[in-house]
């Protein structure tokens, strides 16, 4: 018998390996942090496993990789869903963010980490405020994470007034914080935590700040993370000042490279896409947010040009199953074809494809010998999943985040039967709920019509 630390059994195994096979009665064996076997089940006396997960009624697949996230953004749930991208950012998010406390961000980040794990996400690429508190939750939860401080040199809350004044002191302070974070945490937890330099967006960073940030990323040997062409306001500002598209601008200032993750590209034009191709930069596609804004990126062109692409959740709805379905439905509606995107393609974009975007494809994203043991177990004994025939459509179209029961990261069971071993997310939930009245009042003071709904006067704040 061969000794292993963990054996995960599956009624159906989806390794996301070359050829995208589906294995009936499969299993994954783990020693330490690495996979030593992934395939058809061996005879019962083959393994001597210290711990066994899964079994009949369970399917196993790689943990989802989320290549662009804002874990602590949950404060804006329901507050921007009926807004344009411009209004969501300028009228709501940017105006409230400046008043959110470090303790609030800490709690929101902890809940965000729990939300990721409970949804089957095992890796995040996060850019936001308070990376120092987020990393503590990442350590406790067991998530794999690339983290960047949000760097900008404008007063975000003034953008709604058209004020794009750049303040070098703001930019320098935020860049220093980002650099210090990387210097302290890059490679922590045996490499499970890494850092990036996170310039916020093309219109919220001056050319000087973008160049300095690129220089620092090069010095530190880390990648970069930035929003690009995410709103019409951003595109208009860049065109007015620089006479080109947002991604063209990033190319011209020397920021683009194969270690850059570009989020969104909703308003990217062909010249922007060509700039990505020439630089070999990477694209984080967030399917659940675009339909809310009524505008979808030129995804078919992005794929046709060979741009390295992965799926991401962006903010507030951290559900990879919804993301896959949104993407499939959007592409089929755009093309008028029921085969425009297939379920196995969608799964690959949210696992191995997203890992490629982060430069982690040799380590995670598929269940193959030698790779890190990052995987999830889904319980298919559910009314909405039966009868279960084993195809990709069987879970891509019908599974829910709440069907994920177990999660393994780096060979460690970080969630079992939906209990997260390293985080007390129930306690965090209670603390979050205590703060809701304060946040509600702040949002109401900003004129949010989404606090209680139009015309509601139940608390005098609607």
Walk across the sheet containing 282-285 and list its strands: 224-228, 260-264, 282-285, 308-311
Q: Model confidence over 400-416: pLDDT tens digits? A: 999 999 999 999 999 99
Facing residues of 274 across strands? none
Give the pLDDT band (50/70/90) at residue 86.
confident
Which domains does the chain show, CATH number per domain? 2-62+368-420 (2.30.40.10), 64-357 (3.20.20.140)
Give me the pLDDT at residue 342, please. 97
Q: Tell me the backbone φ, ψ of residue 326, rounded to 5 degrees.
A: -60, -45
Distance CA 154, CA 241 (A): 15
Give me the pLDDT at residue 84, please. 79
Q: Model confidence over 22-49: pLDDT tens digits? A: 999 999 999 999 999 999 999 999 999 9
Contact between residue 229 and residue 268 where contact means Cβ atoms under 8 Å apart? yes
pLDDT of 458 higher than 70: no
Q: Model confidence over 141-157: pLDDT tens digits? A: 999 999 999 999 999 99
Distance CA 107, CA 429 (A): 9
In terms of residues, how long is the chain? 462
Q: Count other C-beta atoms under 10 Å from residue 117's C-beta.
A: 28
Helices (H), 320-391: 320-335, 343-349, 352-357
Give whole-number Cα distances, 392 to 345, 346, 396, 400, in Å: 10, 10, 6, 14
pLDDT of 74 higher than 70: yes
Give the pLDDT band (50/70/90) at residue 457.
very low
Q: What is the dihedral of CA 440, 443, 444, 450, to 10 degrees?
A: -90
Q: Model confidence over 203-216: pLDDT tens digits? A: 999 999 999 999 99
Crossing angle of the two packed helices 102-118 and 131-141, in degrees rounded to 10 = 30
- Identify which of 79, 52, 185, 76 has the alpha carbon closest to the alpha carbon of residue 131: 185
DSSP state of 362: T
CA 387 to chain centre: 31
Distance CA 189, CA 179 (A): 19
Burial class of residue 389, CB neighbours in 10 A (0-12, 13-18, 19+): exposed
Distance CA 462, CA 454 (A): 7
Q: What is the dihedral of CA 274, 278, 283, 287, to 10 degrees?
A: 20
Does residue 84 have a cis bond before it (omega within 30 degrees)? no
Facing residues of 148 across strands? 127
> What percent of the chain has a predicted confidence (pLDDT) above 90?
90
Residues with Cβ within 8 Å of 311's Cβ and at least 6 positions away in sequence, in order, are 66, 67, 284, 285, 286, 287, 320, 323, 324, 327, 346, 349, 350, 353, 354
């Amino acid at each position: 018998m061969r000794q292993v630390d963990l054996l995960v059994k599956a009624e159906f195994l989806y390794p996301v390996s070359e050829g995208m096979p589906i294995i009936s009665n499969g299993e994954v064996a783990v020693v330490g942090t690495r996979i030593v076997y992934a395939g058809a089940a061996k005879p019962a006396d083959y393994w001597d496993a210290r711990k066994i997960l899964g079994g009949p009624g369970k399917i196993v697949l790689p943990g989802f990789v989320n290549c662009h996230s804002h874990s602590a953004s949950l404060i804006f749930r329901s507050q921007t869903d009926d807004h344009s991208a411009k209004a969501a950012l300028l009228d709501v998010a940017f105006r409230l963010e400046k008043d959110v406390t470090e303790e609030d961000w800490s709690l929101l980040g902890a809940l965000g980490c729990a939300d990721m794990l409970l949804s089957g996400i095992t890796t995040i690429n996060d850019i936001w405020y308070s990376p120092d508190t987020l990393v503590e939750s990442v350590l406790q939860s067991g998530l794999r994470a690339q983290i960047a401080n949000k760097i900008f040199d404008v007063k975000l809350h003034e953008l709604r007034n058209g004020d794009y004044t750049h303040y070098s002191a703001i930019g320098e302070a935020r860049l220093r914080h980002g650099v210090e974070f990387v210097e302290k945490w890059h490679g922590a937890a045996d490499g499970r935590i890494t850092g990036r330099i996170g310039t916020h967006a093309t219109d919220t960073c001056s050319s000087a700040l973008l160049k300095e940030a690129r220089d620092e990323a090069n010095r530190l040997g880390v990648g970069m993370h930035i929003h690009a062409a995410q709103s019409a306001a951003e595109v208009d500002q860049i065109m007015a000042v620089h006479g080109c598209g947002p991604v063209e601008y990033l190319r011209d200032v020397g920021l683009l490279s194969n270690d850059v993750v570009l989020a969104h590209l909703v308003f990217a034009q062909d010249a922007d896409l060509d700039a990505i191709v020439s630089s070999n930069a990477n694209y984080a596609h967030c399917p659940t947010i675009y339909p809310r804004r009524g505008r979808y990126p030129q995804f078919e062109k992005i794929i046709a040009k060979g741009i390295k692409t992965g799926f991401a959740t962006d903010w507030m709805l951290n559900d990879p199953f919804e993301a896959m379905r949104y993407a499939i439905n959007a592409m089929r509606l755009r093309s008028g074809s029921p085969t425009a995107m297939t379920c196995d393609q969608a799964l690959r974009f949210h696992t191995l494809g997203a890992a490629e975007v982060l430069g982690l494809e040799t380590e995670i994203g598929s269940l193959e010998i030698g790779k890190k043991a990052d995987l999830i177990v889904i319980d298919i004994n559910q009314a909405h999943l039966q009868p279960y025939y084993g195809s990709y459509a069987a879970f891509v179209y019908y599974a829910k985040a709440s069907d994920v029961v177990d999660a393994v990261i780096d060979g460690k069971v970080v969630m079992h039967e939906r209990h997260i071993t390293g985080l007390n997310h129930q306690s965090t939930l209670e603390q979050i709920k205590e703060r809701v009245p304060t946040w509600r009042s702040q949002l109401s003071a900003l004129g949010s019509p989404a606090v209680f709904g139009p015309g509601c006067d139940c608390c005098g704040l609607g």
